[in-house]
Amino acid sequence: DTGVSQDPRHKITKRGQNVTFRCDPISEHNRLYWYRQTLGQGPEFLTYFQNEAQLEKSRLLSDRFSAERPKGSFSTLEIQRTEQGDSAMYLCASSSPLDGSSYNEQFFGPGTRLTVL
């Protein structure tokens, strides 16, 4: 179990460019979440996958954002035509209903810090 990994860890881009982030969840975790965290705020939910199905999207996820989890393993989050307001830490978390706990703990990756100039 190597934990949740995210790539890249940092991304600096110019306004208007497209960016794509990758998340590799803990092996065999079928639940995957994306959150966004801005400075001084707690993480905000963006979207949820159960296996390859995207089952919930937040209103925060504008049409410039798209997320996929094509084979139910890794996930990608793409932001098109980035804006300065997209600057944030993008966190991925995974969980499994079979982890033996009663609360389905979400394990967070290290995050991708996006800076839009």
| Least distance CB 98 / other proteins (angstroms) | 14
Residues 6+ apart with CB under 8 A from 49: 31, 32, 33, 55, 67, 69, 72, 75
- Here the tokens at position 61 are 């996820």
Kindly state whether residue 42 participates in binding other proteins, applying the rule CB under 8 A: yes
Residue 53: enclosing H or E segment and its boundaries? strand 53-57
Instruction: Give the nearer residue to other proteins in terms of CB position, either 14 or 39.
Output: 39
The 72-101 contact track toward other proteins, x by CB under 8 A, reads -------------------x---x------
Question: Hey, which residues between 16 and 35 contact other proteins (CB under 8 A)?
Answer: 31, 33, 35
Residue 70: Cβ within 10 Å count: 9
Q: Which of 86, 111, 114, 116 binds other proteins (CB under 8 A)?
A: 111
Q: Which of 5, 13, 50, 73 binds other proteins (CB under 8 A)?
A: 50
**Segment lying near other proteins (by CB under 8 A), choices 18-26, 38-46, 69-77, 80-88:** 38-46
The amino acid that residue 114 corresponds to is: L
**Cα distance between residue 117 and residue 101, in whole Å:** 43
DSSP state of 85: G
Binding site for other proteins (CB under 8 A): 31, 33, 35, 40-45, 48, 50, 55-56, 91, 95, 102-106, 108-111
